[in-house]
Amino acid sequence: MKKASELNFGEKGTIKDIITLNPSYKRIIEIGFTPGQEIELVNTSIFNDPLTFSLRGTLIAIRKNQADCIIIN
Amino acid sequence: MSKTPLINLVGPPNSGKTTLFNIFSGKHFKTVNYPGSTVEYSSSDFLDKFNINAKILDSPGLISLNANSPDEEVAIESLFNQPNNGIPDLILVTADASQITRHLLLTKQLIEAGFKVILVLTMIDILNRKNLKVNTSLLSEILGIDVVAVNGRTEEGIDELTVKIKENLSKGKNIPDHNILSTFKDKDYLINTFEKIESISSKVIESVTPDIENANKQLNIQNPILRESTQKPDALTLKIDKYLLHKYFGFIFFLLMMGAIFTSIFWLAAPLMDLVDTLFSSLANYAAESLGNNWFSHLISDGIISGTGAVLIFLPQILILFLILGLLEDTGYLARGATLIDKPLSMIGLNGKSFVPMLSGFACAIPAILSTRTIPNRRERFLTIFIIPLMSCSARLPVYVLIIAYLTPPDKPWLAGFFLSFVYLISIILSVVVAFVINKFNKSLIKTQDDSSFILELPTYKLPKLKVVLRNSYENSKEYILRAGPIILVLSLLIWFLTYMPNHSPEFDKTGMTEEEIILLEKSERISNSYAAKIGIFIEPIMNPLGMDWRVGVSLIAAFAAREVFVSSMALIFKVTDDENIQNSLLTAMRDAKIESNGEPLFTTATSIGLIFFFIFALQCISTIAVSRKETGSWRIPILQLTIFTSTAYLFTFLIVNVLRMIGIN
Ligand SMILES: Nc1nc2c(ncn2[C@@H]2O[C@H](COP(=O)(O)OP(=O)(O)OP(=O)(O)O)[C@@H](O)[C@H]2O)c(=O)[nH]1
Ligand SMILES: [Mg+2]
């Protein structure tokens, strides 16, 4: 089981599930992180947090601890 | 008689709601490429040319009908019951066509809740760049509502939308079902809905060049290119972000950019400032000459023209600051900036989303405090509001520029620019320290705690729309003048009165004096017997430890109404009318000013630097206090801000002046 926060820079993955690890998990689904979607880690800032993902044709930045909710294949 | 119908604009952040609102209402509200640029509701009638008898209401961005914060709760509730208006007659829901699979969630929820909805697909030009388009009639059929594609920048599609609005309004009102909201909270519901939306969007998104598509269909190819390209972010944006979001260069670029903004304010504005100065000083001279040497002439030339002129000289700088910030906002870069410094800000209890409000705090604290509404977490929001008054707002520019001009030789403008950047840097560092300290005492000071999060969409880069940005800067500057202008005028008159009366025509032996000497002596006689001087006796004990006298004290007190008043008040108290320009004659007067009790120079290097520090800290702005009260919901925070910042200002000035003197800088 791998989390989106563990992706490497430029690595892609397909979302398998969103777990309720962080209270904002619902908002994470609502902005489009849903099972079956392919995401790519396109930026890790100099501090390695937040992480920017490419998802559904946009770029979305979320914190590392929020990316922990996103389980990928 | 029926009420005027209400049309509510609803949609995800940055989806083009305000752009539509402005088109229909003819207003010029701020539209920039940053999710969360609208934080307040505003309503308007339609322009006559649309011939729609209804009110249109713009609202802050909404991601779904499932509230994630108290503010969202209010926003969602108000859809079901607009204060004063009840249920909106029609909802125009916007969705960014280039992000249709994310933006249709809200539309689906609104339809399911039973609202009467028209879907407006915006940013079709961006979708076209990917060689794609939306089949609106098919989408309309699937969703069961009217769908119109609109390009907010060229106004293409507005005519069709106008027709549809009229049709929908004529069909009567729907009553939405509030109970359905609870089902929107369910995780499975959300995932299911997204699946439905994906199947819809794969049907309605078509290639702009249908020939290839048809060929594909015949060959039974499931359109892999189409799927691929809707799933890929804008290619240009990705390319630019390779550099601007580069792990290391990205941050360096960010710092350089911020530095460049603040130094350029000084450079770009200089020629314009000279222009305004020349204008006002010739106006003052003209008034003085044509009205003669009497109280009325003094009131007009010294009291009104020089007083307001001393402040308006800085309008070009303020305008340029708004302009640069506006341009930067509209490119889409600011969201990147917020992402880049989320981590460091979170370490002092702030949020990446505090960045834009803090940055706009350099223009003016009032819109800055309002824009903190995009920070979902209350603690972080309150802390951001707390430190915004420390950002060097444009009202402080006149004061800094005056004192810096006093301290630096006029033939070295770069030194002044450098000095000003340094003042900005200090104010940033101090606000970080304050945030850190306040955050430590968070429990007793801010008194609220909840989960911190950061989710921000990085918008597609856009070429800033110069017309819109110019318009915004113009509106902002106008607002600045309208807000500060009357205060400056009234206080200028008050200070003029206090320094001119009661000994308005001093009697003394004038034999053997030139006319010029008489005017000068009259002035000093008048002021040393004035009401202001009498009040000054009470302030002296407070001002003396700072190495300053009552004249500076009176100006500082006047500046509590608005900071710029300091400059106009100084101009009134110190200015000697002559044919130099306003700023120069004020500088000369400052150079000659002596402390009355001991005859020592009043404005030394030490006291001038001390004054700068006083202005860095002190919360001297009634409007800021009022907005802080409104946005935090109680007097706690504004009172804390006022007392903490103002007492620190005094303490710091005291320390700086006296330490500088001790080490021999006077
Ligand atoms: N290319 C393009 N840009 C658009 C279009 N409509 C709006 N924009 C731009 O998109 C950005 C956001 O527009 P706004 O009208 O401020 O969006 P909003 O929905 O009010 O945003 P928030 O108030 O932040 O929720 C601005 O830079 C607009 O100029 C469009 O049809 N095409
Ligand atoms: Mg808006």
The whole-angstrom distance between B63's CA and the closest CA on chain A is 7
The pLDDT value given to residue B442: 66
Amino acid at B87: I
User: Among A24, A47, A58, whose Cβ lies nearest the Cβ of B455?
Assistant: A24
The whole domain housing A64 covers: 2-72
What is the Cα–Cα distance from B181 to B281, expressed in whole angstroms?
Answer: 64
pLDDT surpassing 50 at residue A42: yes
The pLDDT value given to residue B233: 81
SS3 assignment, position A14: strand
The answer to whether A57 contacts B247, with C-beta atoms less than 8 Å apart, is no
The pLDDT value given to residue B137: 94
Reported CATH class of domain B6-231 = alpha beta
User: Among B237, B343, B453, whose Cβ lies nearest the Cβ of A49?
Assistant: B343
Look up the CATH number of the domain holding residue A24: 2.30.30.90
Q: Distance from the CA of B659 to the center of ligand 2, in angstroms?
A: 50
Q: Distance from the CA of B106 to the center of ligand 2, in angstroms?
A: 16
Q: Distance from the CA of B45 to the center of ligand 1, in angstroms?
A: 21
User: Among B194, B247, B340, whose Cβ lies nearest the Cβ of A34?
Assistant: B194
> In sequence order, what DSSP letters do the residues of B199-254 get, joined into one string?
HHHHHHEEESSHHHHHHHHHTT---HHHHHHHHSPPHHHHHHHHHHT-TTHHHHHH
Judged by a CB distance cut-off of 8 A, whether residue B219 touches chain A is no
- Helix, strand and coil in chain B, % to nearest 5: 65, 5, 30
Q: Which residues of B touch A28 (CB under 8 A)?
A: 455
The pLDDT value given to residue A41: 93
Cα distances (angstroms) measured from residue B134 to each of B93, B237, B311, B461, B535:
16, 22, 53, 22, 72
DSSP-derived secondary structure letter, B610:
H
Find the angle CA(B241)-CA(B250)-CA(B252) to the nearest 5 degrees. Answer: 155
Q: What ipTM was reported for this prediction?
A: 0.94
pTM recorded for the entire structure: 0.83
pLDDT tens-digit map of B65-115: 998 877 788 888 888 887 777 889 999 999 999 889 999 999 999 999 999
Domain boundaries, chain B: 6-231
The pLDDT value given to residue B642: 94
- Closest residue of chain B to A16, computed from CA coordinates: B191
The pLDDT value given to residue B228: 58
Q: Distance from the CA of B25 to the center of ligand 2, in angstroms?
A: 14
Percentage above 90 pLDDT, chain B: 32
The whole-angstrom distance between B343's CA and the closest CA on chain A is 6
Low-confidence residues of chain B: pLDDT under 50: 1, 219-222, 224
The answer to whether B339 contacts A45, with C-beta atoms less than 8 Å apart, is yes
Verify whether ligand 1 is closer than 6 Å to residue B126 (CB atom). Answer: yes
CB pairs under 8 A, 24+ apart, for B138-147? B138/B203, B138/B204, B139/B200, B139/B204, B142/B200, B142/B203, B142/B204, B143/B107, B143/B108, B143/B111, B143/B119, B143/B200, B144/B111, B145/B111, B145/B117, B145/B118, B145/B119, B146/B118, B146/B119, B147/B118, B147/B119, B147/B120, B147/B121
Residue A43 · residue B335 · CB < 8 Å:
no
* Domains held by chain A: number: 1
Verify whether ligand 1 is closer than 6 Å to residue B13 (CB atom). Answer: yes
What is the Cα–Cα distance from B630 to B370, expressed in whole angstroms?
Answer: 9
Q: Which residues of A touch B190 (CB under 8 A)?
A: 26, 29-30, 34
Q: Which of A58, A66, A68 to mutate to test the interface with B (most CBs of B within 10 A)?
A: A58
